[in-house]
Structure 1
Amino acid sequence: MLMLFIRSLRVRRRGIAYDESIMYGIQTDVLKPGTTEEYVRYAFPLNNTTLLSSFTVCIRTKIIQYREVVPIFSYAFSDRADNALMMFQSRAQLDYYINDQKVSSGLNLRLDDRLFVWHLYCMVITHPAYWIYVDGKLLKEDRLTTPSTDIPLNGTLYIGQEQDRYDGGTDPDQTLSGFAAQFNFWDYVLEERTIKNLAGCLENLRGNVLSSDFATFDQPGVTSEIVPLQSLCTEEPMFVVFPLRRQVTGARIFCGILDGMFFVPEDEKTNNRLHEETNMFAEVCDFKSYRRLLLAGTDEEQEGVWVNFNTGKRLEFTSWFDGEPNNGKNDNCVVLRNDLPQWGDINCEYSNCFSCGMSSKNYFFIRGLCKPDEHRIRFIMDGYVNDRPYFRGYYGMAIFNVGEGTWVFKDTMANLTLATMTMEQPEEYPLGRTVWDVLEPFCDFAVGDKLRLGLSPCTIEEFMCSDGSCVPRNVRCNLREDCVDGSDENDCGIVLFSGRYASHRPPPGRTYREVLYIQPHVHIVRFSKIDDINLAFYMEFEVHLTWTDRNLKFKNIKEEEDKNKLSTEEVDSIWTPEIEFLNVNDGLLKKLKSNVYARQTGEAEPPDFNDAMMETVYLPNNVALVSKTFYSHSPATSTLFS
């Protein structure tokens, strides 16, 4: 009986089973700025005299919105020891304090910085050694330089806030927006195997000093619920429903532009969740019969064998309505009903609303701003505003529809609408390159300016087509249309002018105090005629003049020089050297052809992640200009180049 009683304590305490945990939702309204009024806090008794020099602290968190600093946990036992123990994340970097010293300084410990992903962080200390684990993997092992790490258990612990003094001094820009679970504190060193088991949800060992599953925490403004342990180690399927009517082919193309996949549920829970989410779009999507939403299933290859459109693998989960599928070879696609979370088969030529499957790896980049790092230009599709999917930035920016095809670009943290634009087709989305009207001054833009923004999943190794799809960067302006809309061959000029460029003035030499050096080359093509009587000859030749113009920049330069021909407008707008020939026989000099080319002499600049055009830019010292002029000429004695 005693053994059974002890086991029952292990299985269930405070109404929580061994395979369950309490999950806290902290500042989960991502359209609101950070606040110091919502937190999870535990105050140890002030008269507690326990000192710990060997211990383990673990916590699991999931970030859904970034702040300047994202505190994971913070423990303080006095105003001077406000960082007695602390872990925090800044972009993709993990930092931590032990005994009020920033031990991680200069280590540059990199993390998975995606949103909506659970991570388990563990700090293990037995003075002077310490270990930092993330998701069961050892991230850092080192030794402390402090004489001891005695931590008194009479302080305050905050989850999702950073203390700048004992039990206070919190900052709204240094808060967790997301979820936390499984905070556990042990007065001994956990074995690495145990930490790996905790990370993989194979074990749910609670802290013997403190456990968020058993202790009572202060949680003003914070939600909490009991969740299955395994839910903390699995990524719930993510999808976005689009109230657009498309055929299957159009739906697949649209999802591909989003770097997602045409979606079909793979389990009953997700299928029910998808159906429930479509209810808000009934007015748009329920336009005929029972059909509401296209799903990514087909039996087109083999009648009666239903496979995933994206993978070609047989569907392991289906939810057919009674009597479905029912129309043989004519109906090879799948639709979700409007009345029940069940399926029917339809003709693939029908147009319906659809959904795109996304993952935490899918995010967009907003280009054309002035952000200091690429992390701040990341956007995701997350939920709906005004019954339309919207784009949300990692750091509080948002792009959403306000009706009649009008979209706004908003700083939700400052509650400012920065810019607005209207799509030509009201049902479309502002993907690719679009032009916005600035409503509030920001970056270097003034009210009334036209702002060109690019929104797409394209990385800096790619070029963004006008519709938001992506092609390799090196196919830009290669004389072939690689974008479906051909936009990779638009605006293929080579020269980038500064605002003060003067074509009448020669550029400086290697420095602004030196004269410009021009390198001439003469290539004799042929002697077309020799006149023995008049002691003259006639020849055709090509003169190459090579120079560097330090007042210009260049874009999209190819290794093959002949592909870098400047347009007539560009040649007329830049300074070019002139050639004068002396002692020409009877004025017999003809210029047959003349072109100017750009020659790559060095590497391109690192891609500018803020550039909405996503051009490959070269500085002037990495590009030489070459004029190639073809002449027919009868010289007398000499030729002078100037």
Structure 2
Amino acid sequence: MCRPALKVAVVMMVRIIFAQDPQPAFSYARLAAPPFPVLASFTTCYWLRLTRFREESTLMSYAVSDDRDNELRMDHRVGEYKVSLKSIWVETSLETPFRMWTHFCFTFQHRSGDWVIFVNGESRSEGNIGRLSGNIDPEGAYVIGQEQDQFGGGFQRDQSFSGEITQLNFWSSVLSPLTISKRWNISGEVAWKVWQKEDICSRQRRRVTFFPDRFSLKASLHLCKVVGGRVMVPLDNQENMRLYERSQGRAIYCSKGQGSSYLWMGATDSQQERLWEYWETSEPVSWEGPWRGSGPNGGTAENCLVMLSGTFPSQWSDIACLDSYEFCVPCEFPQLSTLYLKGPAVCPNSPFNQEYVLGNEEGGRPALHGFFHSDIYWDTANKSWAIRSRKVEGATALWQPLREGNYPFGTKTWKLAGEVCNMLPGTLVNLTLSICRSDQFTCSDGTCIPLGNRCDLRIDCGDQSDEAQCSVVQLPKGYRNTIPPPPTKEGSPLQILFYINIIAFPSIVTQDLTYVSTMSLSLRWKDVRLSYLNLKDDRTLNLLFGEAVESIWTPRVFFSNAQGNIFTNLDQGARVEVVRQGSSQPAPPHLTHEMNIFSGLENSLETSQLYTLTYTCDFNLIMFPFDAQVCFLRFTLVSAAATYMQLVPTAANYSGPPALIEYTIGRLDMERVSDGEFSTVQVNVRFIRRYGFYLLTLYIPTTLLMVIAYATFFFKIDDFNSRIVVALTALLVLASLFTQTSNSLPKTSYFKLVDIWLFFSIVIIFVVVMLQTLIDFAGGMQFPRCPFISSSSILSSSSSIVQVISKDAEAQEIPTFAPTTPEKKNNMTIMIFSRILVPIIFLIFNLAYWGSALTHLAKLDT
């Protein structure tokens, strides 16, 4: 076991088994002697360093016969650690750190079936598989580095182990490191290596990669950022010396031979002199190295930190932060960063891996080692970066940079040198190499930004690549926009949701029985054949353009009762958007760029367009001007019969001013109607007439004319000319008003409510004229006896009224008149009768007229 290292001048060395890469199927280590013992309850521990993953990555396997080949087996796969005990599997989601020494222990209690897995001394997973049916039998074949498909053989490459293992122990029998070599037979590309024990047992995850090419300060900061680290600042003198020893062989090249400065350090004192801080985080540097001279002496003009060589080996100095300076750069990493390769060449079963880590130099520059069986390295012969498969012969891709010091991070165009993913040699493909996760987008220069910032009409990448290629819809192979999408539920018609927003009624012409409507019509449906990319919650950012709109199927609706042959269209002003409703899935690795993919089954397409159309309406004017007109707009889906797709009325809204010049807009409602073989939706709109104008210009003037005519009954009884002239004038004015009003209204074959009012007004004034004539004529005639009203009763009543009037007149000193002749008595009797009769007729008519009008007004919007 590893213990804290003592500070003594003794180097402890540990021998390890090293499975070389690539490992063929015949590479393994098999226990020779003594024979494998019987196992009941046991513990096994070992140190492990994976250099490659395999599809199964079997570290050890134990078989007792051909049909019992999984008596004991341990697999370190990508994202899981699996153990088999007598063919019963223990499965966990434990990650095996890549290219890093890690200590594993597995314990099993035979009696209870309990198992526990320890990683670096900590319990990480546990469970129970029940009591085994017997012990693990002895004297079988125990193999490291391969999985046995038959006793002692049946090895396959993809089940092999690639890495290093040491201090493998089974308890209660413990093997010492000195006797390991005597107890193992080595076969194939398996060898012994020697490591310092402190390197194996160290928990330090910090990594340093030296890039032996010249970069400006800005390019250096960018390079370290895109590989998941930052420009290094040594933490102590020992680390400072190791960095110098590792890089000083390139010092002349890194400095261009122009001085001692050759290596950028990742700190600055631009905020305060001699207060050195990391560029990226502004955290203070914990340790300052050996300075040239007495320390930084450049003042505020020199705020960048470099390492020196030559006469000042490994010493530090401050220099001006000029773009003209170019030095090599070391990058430090808190832990090993994983870089992901994405693009058409990373299809399922591709010879190229998706995941890589920075490793040792190859071709004079840091190489990237794949998790499984491919590497990315500098090919000095071709002066290109190469992706090479160690599994498939000839599977290679090349990228030749414009400048030799450029690295393949970000999105680059690679040329295939062999057949990859059914693409022929010579094919150019765009591949992206970056540390960006699935929820991030890789800019062309390798920078990571949040995936939600892509295609949001704001530039976040320095190269503006986040706002390029912002297609929202992804068409499957063989998609045809002339064929409607299948329904979301089998056996049901496709649902086309119908939304309408009426914006205004620019014109309502009652005489022509027409009105003009400006409206926004929206249709929403799901096309399960499609996929959508990077949808936003703000649907205005999910807009489809030009070619994308023309390439998809859209419904076609006919405006059935509009004037003209009008259909929905996608002309200028039309919008086709994707409405985000469901969750997304990350893009598969064979796509060059990271994206969220949304299914057409869960997310909808919506088209909307603005229309201004003229409609006819059968105005019912019986109750004019206290009327309400119910007009309708009818829409028919003509893309297919109703058995295949249906319009579903969803929402109708009026967003314009409720009060128009002549009408007030009442409520809107929608309904499905039967209109032949196609699905039809009808929108009903209520226009409630504003009658205030007619009260002011018609009803009040006619009422005043009737009052004026009635007032003639209070003129002097002898002044017939004045009475008849005023009454006839009122009649003539009313007749003129009637003619004018009738000409301004629609011609109907039925009486309107206003016609009844005008007709009554004429009749009532006509009655006044006739009564005035009768009053004057009655002065020279005798009234016959009436079976209901006797002349004596009329005379007595009139005499009583006259006496009352006379007394009131005497009290007010007003001249009075008293009929002194029978003729005048008759005139006065008819005059008083008319004063009573006309108001009674007027009152009865108004009660009936306004009662019906008010009752109708109360029902207008129902």
TM-score (norm 1): 0.82
1:389 corresponding residue in structure 2: 366
Q: Which of 426, 432, 439 is the aligned partner of 2:404?
A: 426
Residue 43 (1) aligns with residue 32 (2): yes
Q: Give the secondary structure class of the aligned counterpart of 1:631.
A: strand
Task: Quote the residue 2:615 is aligned against.
Answer: 635
Conserved 8 A contact 2:586-2:595: no
Alpha-carbon shift at residue 236 of structure 1 (Å) = 5.7
Corresponding residue for 2:289? 318
Q: How much has 1:164 moved relative to structure 2?
A: 5.1
Tell me, what secondary structure is at the counterpart of 1:458? coil
Contact kept, 8 Å, 1:399 with 1:407, in 2: the verdict is: yes
**1:279/1:261 CA distance change after superposition, 3 Å:** same
Aligned to 1:205: none
User: Given that residues 121 and 132 in structure 1 are in contact (C-alpha distance below 8 angstroms), is that contact kept between their aligned partners in structure 2?
Assistant: no
Query: Which residue of structure 2 aligns with residue 599 of structure 1?
Result: 579
Query: Which is worse superposed, 17-26 or 574-583?
Result: 17-26
Q: Distance in 1 between matches of 2:608 and 2:433?
A: 41
Q: Deviations over 1:314-372 (max 9, x none)?
A: 33252335555444444333222334333333223232111111354411111121247
Shift in Å, 1:94: 1.5
1:290 aligned to which of 260, 268, 274: 260
Deviations 1:34-92 (A, max 9, x none): 1366655542235x9x6554443211111122223333334556667655543221222
Instruction: Summarize deviations over 1:427-469 as a string: whole Å, max 9, x none.
Output: 2222222222223223242334332211111111112222221
- Where 1:276 maps in the other structure, the secondary structure is helix
Q: Is residue 2:602 matched to residue 1:622?
A: yes
Specify every segment of 5 or more residues in structure 1 that has no aligned partner in the other structure, as ranges.
Answer: 1-10, 12-16, 188-207
Aligned pairs (5 A) from 1:364-375: 364-368=339-343, 369-371=346-348
Instruction: Figure out how many residues of one structure are paired with residues of the other and give that number.
Output: 597
Q: Does the 8 Å contact 2:206/2:335 carry over to 1?
A: no
Q: Alpha carbons of 1:39 and 1:564: their partners in 2 closer, same or farther (altered >3 Å)?
A: closer
Which residue in 2 is equivalent to 1:196? none
Does residue 282 of structure 2 align to residue 302 of structure 1?
Answer: no
Residues 575 and 293 of structure 1, relative CA distance in 2, 3 Å threshold? same
Number of the residue aligned with 1:94? 81
Does 1:210 pair with 2:175?
A: yes
Matched, 1:34 2:23: yes
- Give the Cα separation in 2 of the matches to 1:469 and 1:636: 61
Deviation of the 1:182 alpha carbon? 1.8
Task: State the distance in 1 between where 2:539 and 2:67 align.
Answer: 65
More helix, by proportion: 2
Q: What SS is found at the alignment partner of 1:416?
A: coil
Aligned to 1:235: 204
CA distance in 1, matches of 2:477, 2:65: 57
| 1:524-546 CA-partner distances (Å, limit 9, x unpaired) | 21111222332322221222222
Once residues 263 and 166 of structure 1 are traced to their aligned partners in structure 2, the CA distance between those partners, rounded to angstroms, is: 52
Instruction: Give the C-alpha shift of residue 269 in structure 1.
Output: 3.8
SS of alignment partner, residue 108 of structure 1: strand
AA aligned to 1:210 is L
> Secondary structure of the equivalent of 1:534?
coil
> 2:136 and 2:512 mapped to 1: Cα distance?
106
- CA separation of 1:545/1:487 partners in 2, compared to 1, >3 Å: closer, same or farther? same
State yes or no: 1:333 paired with 2:296. no
Task: Point out where structure 2 has 5 or more consecutive residues left out of the alignment.
Answer: 4-8, 618-632, 639-862
* Amino acid aligned to 2:600: P
Give the Å deviation of 1:25.
5.2
- Secondary structure at the aligned position of 2:553 is classed as coil
Task: Please give the residue correspondences for 1:155-194 in structure 2 after superposition, counting only pairs within 5 Å.
Answer: 157-163=142-148, 170-187=155-172
Aligned residue in 1 for 2:440: 462
CA displacement, residues 583-618 of structure 1 (integer Å, 9 cap, x when unaligned):
555899998842222222333345434422222222
Task: Identify the residue that residue 132 of structure 1 maps to in structure 2.
Answer: 116
Work out the CA distance in 2 between the residues paired with 1:561 and 1:52.
64
Aligned-partner residue type, residue 19 of structure 2: Q
Other structure's SS at 1:134 match: strand
Counterpart of 1:5 in structure 2 is none
CA distance in 2, matches of 1:502, 1:156: 60
Separation of aligned partners in 2, 1:440 and 1:243: 30
Does residue 73 of the first structure (1) align with residue 60 of the second (2)? yes
Superposition map of 1:416-455 within 5 A? 416-455=394-433
Secondary structure of 2:84's counterpart equals strand
CA distance in 1, matches of 2:41, 2:558: 86
Which deviations, in whole Å up to 9, do the C-alpha atoms of 1:607-634 show, x marking residues without a partner?
Answer: 4344222222222222322222212222
Match of 1:123 in 2: 106
- Cα distance, 1:307–1:543 mapped onto 2, change above 3 Å: closer
Among candidates 442, 454, 457, match of residue 476 of structure 1: 454
Q: Secondary structure at the match of 2:413?
A: strand
Following superposition, the deviation at residue 475 of structure 1 comes to 1.9
1:527 to 1:86, Cα distance in 2 relative to 1, 3 A = closer
Question: Which residue of the partner structure matches residue 6 of structure 1?
Answer: none
Give the secondary-structure state (helix, strand or coil) at the position aligned to 2:584. coil
Q: Which moved more, 1:62-71 or 1:380-389?
A: 62-71
Aligned pairs for 1:515-530 (under 5 A) are: 516-530=494-508
Alignment root-mean-square deviation, CA: 3.5
1:560 alignment partner in structure 2: 538
In the alignment, what sits opposite 2:470?
Answer: 492
What SS does the aligned partner of 1:222 have?
A: strand
Q: Counterpart in 1 of 2:221?
A: 252
Residue type at the aligned position of 1:93:
E
Query: Contact between 2:61 and 2:146, CA under 8 Å: does it hold in 1?
Result: yes
Partner Cα distance (1:40, 1:583) in 2: 86
Match of 1:608 in 2: 588
Q: Which amino acid letter does the alignment assign opposite residue 450 of structure 1?
A: L
Q: State the one-letter code of the partner of 2:104.
A: Y
Instruction: Give the TM-score, by structure 2 length.
Output: 0.63
Q: Is the Cα–Cα contact under 8 Å of residues 413 and 431 in structure 2 kept in the other structure?
A: yes
Aligned to 1:506: 484
Q: Distance in 1 between matches of 2:521 and 2:273?
A: 70
Q: Which amino acid aligns with 1:34?
A: Q
User: Residue in 2 aligned with 1:148?
Assistant: 134
What is the alpha-carbon distance in structure 1 between the residues aligned to residue 612 and residue 448 of structure 2? 47
- Larger proportion of strand: 1
1:8 corresponds to which residue?
A: none
Distance 2:591 2:572 in 1: 40
Q: Which has the larger radius of gyration?
A: 2
Cα distance in 2 for partners of 1:617, 1:42 equals 50
1:190 counterpart residue number: none
1:289 aligned partner, one-letter code:
G
Partner residue in 2 for 1:109: 92
Residues in 2 aligned to 1:502 and 1:589: alpha-carbon distance in whole angstroms = 22
Residue by residue, what CA displacement relative to the aligned partner does 1:487-519 show, whole Å, maximum 9, x if unpaired?
A: 221122222223423333433434688654433
Closer, same or farther in 2 for the Cα pair 1:306/1:518, shift >3 Å?
closer
Query: C-alpha offsets along residues 401-448 of structure 1, whole Å, 9 cap, x if unaligned?
Result: 325762222102334243223234432222222222223223242334
Find the aligned partners of 1:604 and 1:185 in 2 and give their Cα distance. 47
CA shift in 2, pair 1:454/1:215, >3 Å: closer
3-state SS of 1:518 partner: strand
Indicate the residue corresponding to 2:850 in structure 1.
Answer: none
CA contact (8 A) 1:308 1:315 kept: no
Q: Are residue 569 (structure 1) and residue 538 (structure 2) matched? A: no
Matched, 1:22 2:6: no
Give the 3 Å change call, closer, same or farther, for CA 79–273 of structure 1 in structure 2.
farther
